Each structure stands twice: as structure tokens, then as C-alpha cells.
């Protein structure tokens, strides 16, 4: 193993995967040597310090079919999509994330989330470019105000890697949308928030806000923190999973100034919990930032109770609390990713009760048309009569609860 590439291994032993605190496992030793092999093969002029630099990772991200085909033997379906002009979401993947996909074929879960296939060109039943009607709920271009007390602030159109099922692919990676993320547009958004005292929670997303330079994030956070009615600020990001090098001590020191600050991290699959992403999450958690995960339920990727349980267990070991499991939005070109809602319900049934409640996220459908996130649960509540509420537990056994009569709610 090339030692320098895994400089982080010198730090405190880390818990990754299941089990107690332990030093670098053989899994991670293997991972490190695989990464160093990948780097030497495809980036022969780079050195280990380059690999650990997030700017190098962004600058050397793979964005075209030529480079990609040197690394992977691409299928017909992938090549068609990569070359097609009707696939609107650009292709982009960091060298780090590509090293996770390396050596795996087209059936590999995470490859499907990053390398487009021609199914993206199909428009399925009920799909649209803006299923959540965010554009209709934007009082100013980069603010979505759907709920009474909180807003979504779209800070940038850029991501370091583009998920193929992105619900916001009308915006992300789209150079025509740059104007709405200029400093001027930010001002309008900040003004809007400042003049609406009912807003107590701002969720900064995009694009991926952590792809912005420290100074820009610092500026936005300082402006929002200066608004007296803003209680909490949240960042929505996939950076710890696709560009963990971005989580630097300097970034974390800056973020800490803006507490209470929380982070929702987009994790998809247990293979994303690597040594690097674990170190990134540890730094964030040590800075007192509560970490939650958001996962999209995806066919052939993670639509399996075992895979999701494994992901959730691993996330808890790196101090990330599963927050939401999303039914995949009916965004254009998503039909090959979408499972039935029944699949989701069955998966939740197989997780809830069988493991720590902390490992169970809320399964939601973000209602097409702008209804917001609606939680859906397997039928644990089976109805009631005058005396009892009827319940079914995780093992399918029936119970009843003697429900006190409360005339005020009848």
C-alpha cells in the first residue's frame, strides 16, 4: 500500500462498517491500494497530495465519454446516452468516486447512479421536468417557499457529480441557469428571507453548496445568521459521499461559527461508506454538526431491505442518522429507477422493529404538484372502534390498545 495516499489512516482508529472501534481494516487496506492503483493508472502525472485535494478532484473530474471509456468498458446503452444531446443532465464524476466504480460492470449499483443509460431518453407515465412544482413556489428565483416556517435556498447549479435521477435536473449543471445563482440573485433571496419573520429554518441546497469556495459559503452563512428570526440553518449535500476531500479542517472551522447548523447528506448505498467519507463525517460530527442522511429508493441500486439496512447501520457507525428515504420523484427519464410504492413499504416493514429505531428513516413521497413530503407507513394502525385502537406489530401480530375516550376530538 502506498502510505501517502492514505495519510488519514494515521489518525485515531475509526469505526467503519459493523462492529466496535478498530484500526484500519483489511477492507480499507484493500480500498487504499485499489485507489492508489487507479490513480497511478489514470492520473500518472498526479501525486498523492493531488488526490487528497478537493480542487484537484473537481478539476480532474471525468466529464466526457472518451475519458470514461478508458476507465470502463461502456455498454451500448451507456454510449448512446453519453453521446445524446437529448440527455439534459450533464455527466460528471470525481476521480475518487470513479475509483469506487472501477472494475465493476454495468450492473453495479453505484455505476447506475452516475453513468447515464439510454433509458434516460424515455419519458415515462406522469413524468415531468419539475415534478415538485418548485418553480411555482419560488417567490424569488432561488428560494422555494413550500412550508410555513422554512425555505429551500438554491445556492448554486453545480455539483461535483451528477446523480442520474436528480429531481432538479432542470437546474443543475445547466449553464443557462447561472444567472439565478449570481451574487445579485442571492441578495434577492436573502432579502426575501429577511422580510419574512415566519421563516425560522433555511435549507441551503442547489446544486451542491459545499462545492462552492469557503469564502462564498462563509458569506452566505454569515448573511443568513445575521437575520434574527433564523433559528437553524441546514446544508443539503452529497459532497461527503462523492468528494469527501472537500471536508477540510478549514471548512469545518468556518462552518462551526454558524451553529445551530445541520447537514443532510445524500447517501445511496453502503459502498459509499469508505474510509474517506467516514473521516469526512467524523470531522463534521466532531464539529457538533448533526448529520442526517437522505436516500432515494432506486430500482436495482438499493431497493432491498438488506442493502438499506447495511447502509443505515454503517451510517450510524459514522454518526449519520438516517433521516428520509424518498420515493423516487417522477422526473423526466427516471422510469428505469422508480420502484413501486409497495416495494418501499415492504422494505420499511422489513427494517422497522428488526433494528435500532435510529436506523429507520421516514419513508416519504414528495407529492407531485408541490404537496411537499408526505410520510407513508406500512399499516401498523389497523383502525378503531369505541373502545380500542387496533394495531399490528413488526412481526405481524395483532394488538389492541384501550383508547381513552376524548370527547373533544371525536
Ligand X SMILES: *Cc1c(COP(=O)(O)O)cnc(C)c1O
Q: Is 146 a residue that touches ligand X (CB under 6 A)?
A: yes
Coil, helix or strand at residue 51: helix
235 binds ligand X (CB under 6 A): no
Measure CA 354 to chain center: 24
Position 144 contacts ligand X (CB under 6 A): yes
Reduce the DSSP state of residue 135 to 3 states and report it.
helix
> Which of 288/372 has CB closer to ligand X?
372
Smallest Cα–Cα separation from 274: which of 302, 248, 300, 245?
245
- From 252, 295, 250, 289, select the one nearest 272 (Cα to Cα): 295
Q: Does 196 bind ligand X (CB under 6 A)?
A: no
Report the nearest approach of ligand X to the CB of residue 170 (Å). Answer: 15
Alpha-carbon torsion angle 43, 48, 51, 56, nearest 10: -80
Is 173 or 361 the residue whose CB approaches ligand X more closely? Answer: 361
Q: How far is the CB of 147 from ligand X (least distance, A)?
A: 5
Contact status: 203 vs ligand X (CB under 6 A): yes
CB 317 to ligand X: min, Å: 23
Site for ligand X in 359-378 (CB under 6 A): 373
State the nearest-atom distance from the C-beta of 46 to ligand X, in Å.
38
CB of 221 to ligand X, least distance (A): 17
Q: Which of 2, 150, 259, 352 forms a contact with ligand X (CB under 6 A)?
A: 150
Rounded-to-integer distance, Cα 159 and Cα 173, Å: 7
What secondary structure does DSSP assign to 320-345, as a single string? EEEEEEEEPP-BTT-TTTPPPHHHHH
Active site residues: 146-147, 150, 159, 163, 166, 168, 329, 366, 373
C-alpha–C-alpha distance, residues 107 and 125, integer Å: 25
Counting contacts by CB under 6 A, is residue 279 touching ligand X?
Answer: no
* One of 14, 98, 117, 152 touching ligand X (CB under 6 A): 152
Q: Are 81 and 116 in contact (CB under 8 A)?
A: yes
Q: Considering the rule CB under 6 A, would residue 392 count as an interface residue with ligand X?
A: no
Q: Which residues lie across from 325 on neighbouring strands? A: 295, 363
Contact footprint for ligand X (CB under 6 A): 144, 146-147, 150, 152, 203, 373
Amino acid at each position: 500500500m502506498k502510505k501517502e495516499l492514505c495519510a488519514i489512516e494515521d489518525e485515531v482508529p475509526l469505526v467503519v462498517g459493523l462492529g466496535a472501534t478498530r484500526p484500519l481494516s483489511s477492507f480499507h487496506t484493500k480500498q487504499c491500494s485499489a485507489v492508489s492503483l487507479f490513480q497511478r493508472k489514470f492520473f500518472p502525472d498526479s501525486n498523492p497530495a493531488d488526490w487528497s485535494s478537493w480542487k484537484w478532484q473537481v478539476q480532474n473530474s471525468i466529464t466526457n465519454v472518451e475519458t470514461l471509456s478508458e476507465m470502463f468498458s461502456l455498454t451500448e446503452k451507456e454510449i448512446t446516452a453519453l453521446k445524446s444531446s437529448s440527455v439534459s443532465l450533464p455527466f460528471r464524476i470525481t476521480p475518487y468516486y470513479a475509483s469506487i466504480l472501477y472494475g465493476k460492470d454495468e450492473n453495479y449499483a453505484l455505476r447506475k447512479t452516475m453513468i447515464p443509460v439510454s433509458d434516460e431518453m424515455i419519458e415515462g407515465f406522469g413524468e415531468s421536468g419539475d415534478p415538485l412544482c418548485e418553480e411555482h413556489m419560488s417567490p424569488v428565483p432561488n428560494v422555494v417557499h413550500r412550508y410555513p416556517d422554512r425555505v429551500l435556498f438554491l445556492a448554486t447549479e453545480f455539483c461535483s457529480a451528477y446523480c442520474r435521477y436528480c429531481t432538479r435536473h432542470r437546474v443543475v449543471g445547466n449553464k443557462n441557469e447561472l444567472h439565478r445563482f449570481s451574487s445579485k440573485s442571492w441578495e434577492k433571496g436573502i432579502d426575501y428571507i429577511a422580510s419574512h419573520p415566519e421563516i425560522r429554518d433555511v435549507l441551503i441546497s442547489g446544486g451542491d453548496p459545499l462545492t462552492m469556495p469557503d469564502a462564498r459559503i462563509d458569506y452566505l452563512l454569515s448573511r443568513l445568521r445575521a437575520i434574527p428570526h433564523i433559528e437553524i440553518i441546514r446544508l443539503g449535500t452529497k459532497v461527503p459521499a462523492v468528494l469527501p476531500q472537500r471536508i477540510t479542517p478549514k471548512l469545518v472551522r468556518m462552518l462551526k461559527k454558524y451553529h445551530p447548523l445541520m447537514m443532510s447528506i445524500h447517501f445511496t448505498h453502503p459502498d459509499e461508506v469508505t474510509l474517506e467519507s467516514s473521516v469526512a463525517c467524523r470531522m463534521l460530527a466532531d464539529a457538533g454538526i448533526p448529520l442526517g442522511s437522505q436516500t432515494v429508493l432506486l430500482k436495482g441500486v438499493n431497493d432491498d431491505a438488506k442493502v438499506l439496512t447495511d447502509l443505515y447501520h454503517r451510517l450510524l457507525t459514522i454518526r449519520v442518522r438516517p433521516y428520509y428515504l424518498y420515493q423516487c420523484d417522477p422526473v423526466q427519464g427516471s422510469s428505469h429507477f422508480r420502484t413501486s410504492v409497495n416495494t418501499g413499504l415492504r422494505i420499511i416493514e422489513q427494517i422497522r422493529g428488526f433494528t435500532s429505531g435510529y436506523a429507520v428513516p421516514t419513508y416519504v413521497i414528495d407529492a407531485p404538484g408541490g404537496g411537499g413530503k408526505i410520510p407513508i407507513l406500512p399499516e401498523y394502525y389497523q383502525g378503531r372502534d369505541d373502545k380500542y385502537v387496533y394495531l399490528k406489530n413488526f412481526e405481524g401480530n395483532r394488538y389492541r390498545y384501550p383508547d381513552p375516550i376524548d370527547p373533544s376530538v371525536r
